Structure formats: structure tokens, C-alpha cells
Amino acid sequence: MRAAGGVERNCQFPEIHPRPRPAGFLPLLGETASPAGMTHVFVYGTLKRGQPNHKVLLGGTHGRAAFQGWGRTAEPYPLVIAGEHNIPHLLNVPGQGHRVVGEIYAVDEQMLRFLDEFEGCPDMYQRTPLPIAVLEWEGTRGAPRETPAADRTVQCFVYSTATFPPEWLHLPYHDNYDSQGQHGLRYNPRENR
């Protein structure tokens, strides 16, 4: 297994206490808090709309998640489909691969804790703050009132992996994951394993 240097393998982060901001603020680079104590999370794989695990973000069972918009990583990263269950992995190797497209959600603390467990953090994935370039902002409840300009950078937590077999770096890199994509690597849902 390979570990990227300097990556913290711990999902225990201090509680987020947002600083008072005027209505309609966007988090500054370096912050992941969104209005009303919510935290921005960027999803690029099976949690996106239309993908097999999106349902866990719905209904409030695991906490609150509000869709904010679409974005892409500010830097290129390798997004690979790997393992016997064809799971998408964003490898924490900045500068390689593509600028990966995904969705930005504002989540509450309960949902963030659920996602840590769901994503196998810190063993399978590590929750890392990364700058995400906004492609389109929809912003619903609990979101900024102002629409950020395209390519405005917003800090989001991303579940990436820093520990992986070295051969994963030689797999095809993707820029926009779809479980039914032309790659032919169908995701095997948890309930079927």
C-alpha cells in the first residue's frame, strides 16, 4: 500500500463554529463552513445524483444534506475505478489526472459523521479539505443568497484516498464518474456484496 506524504489519516476534526457573517456569504478559501453551521462536502462518485448511493443523502435519516451546485477540483487528481466492487477512488495525488467534476452539498454535523462512517474514514478514505472551483451554483436552503461566479473557489471536504496499491496509478483516469459509464465497470452496491 502507498501513503501520500503528510496526509492526516484521522477523521476527528474540531467542531466547526462558524464566524458571524453577513447574509449571502461564501466561505473563504481555507474554510469549509457554510451558512447556518453547515459544512461543504464535494462528492464525485456514487453519492452524486443519479448514482447508486445518492439515497443516503436524502430524507434526513442520517442528518441534513442540501445540494448547492456543481464544481470540479481546482487541481487535477486521478479518479480511478478499482477493486472487486468497482468503487470510484479519488487518489490524493495532486497534479496528476483530471480536474474531477462533482457536486457540492452543505451538510450538518450529523451527516458529516455519517459520511465518515459510510466512507470508511480514515481507513478506506480520508476526509481532506480541498479547493473546489464552482461550475454552477444552485444554492437552496441554508445556502448563500448570492450566486458565486463560475470558477469561484469554495473550500470543501472531499473523501479521497492516500493509501492504495501502486498499480492504481496506472488505471484509466476519469473526470466525471458515472456508475453506468462507457468504462463498463459497473459498481457493485453494498447491499449486493
Task: Return the active site residues.
Answer: 119
Q: How far apart are CA 45 and CA 90, in angstroms?
A: 9
Burial grade of 17 (CB within 10 A; 0-12, 13-18, 19 or more): exposed
Q: How far apart are CA 122 and CA 159, in angstroms?
A: 9
Residue 43 neighbours by CB under 8 Å, 6+ apart: 57, 102, 103, 105, 159
Which cell goes with 156?
A: 470543501
Q: How far apart are CA 37 and CA 27, in angstroms?
A: 11
DSSP letter for each residue of 74-102: SS-B-EEEETTTTEEEEBS-TTSSB--EE
Q: Which of 99, 87, 103 is nearest to 168 (CA)?
A: 87
In terms of DSSP H, where are the helices of the chain? 109-118
